[in-house]
Amino acid sequence: MNGCLEKLSNSDLQTLVSALRSERLAPPYTALQVARFVPASVVDSTRSSLAELVEQGFSEKQIATAIELIVEDRLGRQGSKPPIDLVTSGPEAPGITNRDTSVVVRELFSHANDSVIVIGYAVYQGQQVFEALARRMEQIPSLHVQFFLNVPRTDADTTSSEILIARFKQRFKDKHWPTGCRLPEVYYDPRSVADDVPVRSSLHAKCIVVDSRKVFVSSANFTEAGQERNIEVGLRIDSKWLAGQITNHFRQLFNHGFAKRAF
């Protein structure tokens, strides 16, 4: 089997299989076409590998089957290893191995096919953080993306909730989302900006659910510091059950009025 393909992650390989079987990826496998399905750093090597297999007489379906065998072999060799990865960000030093939060988040966004739920407390420099997700939404118009975000109000702030939400909406569109790209659905907890209440709540959770299976739960906010510089710890988990539990939790929050759609 082609060595370049074997160097791709399982997620990349599974994305290729889906694209080949659906005929969204077909000969002559141009760089522009391949770039829709794998990270930019491996576009050229992946394109060359696919072209080489075509020269050897492989059809799209045969290539997809061969790639599936690579994934099955990897999973078999993993044995009883749980489908959980530790994700950390922070300083590099002898004995410290980081799998950067920003890399994992970009990978999740770049390989989403059906749905993405983003739940976060603080967002800063979001145009960079969410660039891969916005690009994926342009590539797959049917991709359903929902954000549940905190809208802050300081204790001394007497601004009306309507104005705070209007400012939040404008700030998200202007500063936290790539210009000109299709917007996600955005929800917030109305209690965080409620008028005339002595104690308010915050939406403090930070997690991502992709394609009703891939889950990332982290201490990191959706900021440049949280994604790349701070000492953060998270778990990347493959679990339909856990993805369903988180999705249903936020669905119920919406059903009971604890999550309200901003736009």
Q: Which domains does the chain have, with CATH numbers?
A: 3-78 (no CATH), 84-261 (3.30.870.10)
- Measured at the CA of 159, the angle between CA 158 and CA 164, to 5 degrees, comes to 140
pLDDT for 77 equals 65
Report the relative pairing of strands 214-218 and 232-238 from DSSP bridges.
Answer: antiparallel
Q: Please give the share of the chain, as a percent, with pLDDT higher than 70.
A: 93
Q: Please give the share of the chain, as a percent, with pLDDT higher than 90.
A: 38
What residues are paired with 233 via a beta bridge?
Answer: 88
| 16: confidence class by pLDDT, cuts 50, 70, 90 | confident
Q: Other C-beta atoms within 10 Å of 103: how many?
A: 15
Distance, in Å, from the CA atom of 37 to the CA atom of 261, rounded to the nearest integer, reads 31
pLDDT for 78 equals 58
**Token digits of residue 233:** 């710890």
pLDDT for 254 equals 94
Distance, in Å, from the CA atom of 2 to the CA atom of 52, rounded to the nearest integer, reads 9
pLDDT for 70 equals 82
Of residues 156 and 147, which shows the higher confidence score? Answer: 147
Contact partners, residue 23, CB within 8 Å, separation at least 6? 60
CB 201 within 8 A of CB 191: yes
Closest among 62, 65, 61, 32 to 46, alpha carbons compared: 32
pTM: 0.68
pLDDT for 207 equals 94
pLDDT for 81 equals 55
**Token digits of residue 192:** 């965080």
The pLDDT tens digits for 94-124 are: 766 666 788 889 899 999 999 999 999 888 7
Of residues 16 and 210, which shows the higher confidence score? Answer: 210
pLDDT at 13 over 90: no
